[in-house]
Structure 1
Amino acid sequence: MEMMIGGAFQGKADLAKKTYPGIQWIRGEKMTEEELMNAQGVLGFHQFIKKELEQGREVQHLAAALIRNNPDIILVSDEVGYGVVPVDAFDRAYREAVGRVCTDLAAYSKKVIRVVCGIGTVIKDA
């Protein structure tokens, strides 16, 4: 497993496509959990989490399920925990869920790249 993270509109998708040529990418907001478990690469993984929460599904199991079922996946996700804490309860729960799931996945990942202004910096290379 490898991850590419960073703020919104920082060039993660373009860098991911360049860094991992030949990967078949799927958008997080358009996929099912079954597709996630079989995907090569996911753009907008944070959007998958948001979609699941909006549909009333739990996401605590996602990290363990991905590690068990799809350990070679490449995940690209926005970091959503920076900035002002949202007033809306759903937005706070979403922010926390993305942080917790991505923290677990980053701990397992072989490589984590943080992207700022289209430039990737390796923050983990195990």
Structure 2
Amino acid sequence: MEMIIGGAFQGKSTLAEKDHPDVTWINGAQADWESLSHAEGVMGFHEYIRKEMKAGNDISSLAEDLIRVNPDLILVSDEVGYGVVPIDAFDRAYREAVGRICTKLAAYSHRVTRVACGIGTVIKDA
């Protein structure tokens, strides 16, 4: 597994497509579990988490399930845990869920790249 993370509009998608030109990408906001299970790469993984939470689905084992069924996946996700803590209870829960899930996935990943201003910095390369 590989992760490319960073703030909104920092160039993650561009970097991912440049570094992995042969990957077929799916959109996290439109993905379902079946497509996620078989995808090569996911753009906007954080949006998949939001969609599942809005639908009331249990995501407590999402990281573990994803590692088990698709260990070679490339994930592109916003870091949503920075900045002002949201007032809305759902937004706070979503922010925490993305952080917890991505932390587990990063620990498993062989490479994690953080993107700021279009520049990718490898923060894990195992």
| TM-score past 0.5 threshold | yes
**Equivalent residue of 1:16, what SS?**
helix
Corresponding residue number in structure 2 for 1:45: 45
Corresponding residue number in structure 2 for 1:94: 94
TM-score normalised by length of structure 1: 0.99
4+ runs of 1 displaced by more than 3 Å?
Answer: none
Which consecutive unaligned segments of at least 5 residues does structure 2 have? none
Percent identity between matched residues is 67
How many Å apart are 1:58 and its aligned residue?
A: 1.3
The one-letter code sitting in structure 2 at the alignment partner of 1:58 is: D
Corresponding residue number in structure 2 for 1:35: 35
Asked if 1:83 is matched to 2:83, the reply is: yes
How far apart are the structure 2 equivalents of 1:84 and 1:37? 33
Which consecutive unaligned segments of at least 5 residues does structure 1 have? none
How far apart are the structure 1 equivalents of 2:80 and 2:34? 24
How far apart are the structure 1 equivalents of 2:48 and 2:69? 17
How many Å apart are 1:34 and its aligned residue?
A: 1.2
Deviations 1:63-118 (A, max 9, x none): 10111000000000000000010000000000000000000000000000000001
**Equivalent residue of 1:53, what SS?**
helix
Asked if 1:72 is matched to 2:72, the reply is: yes
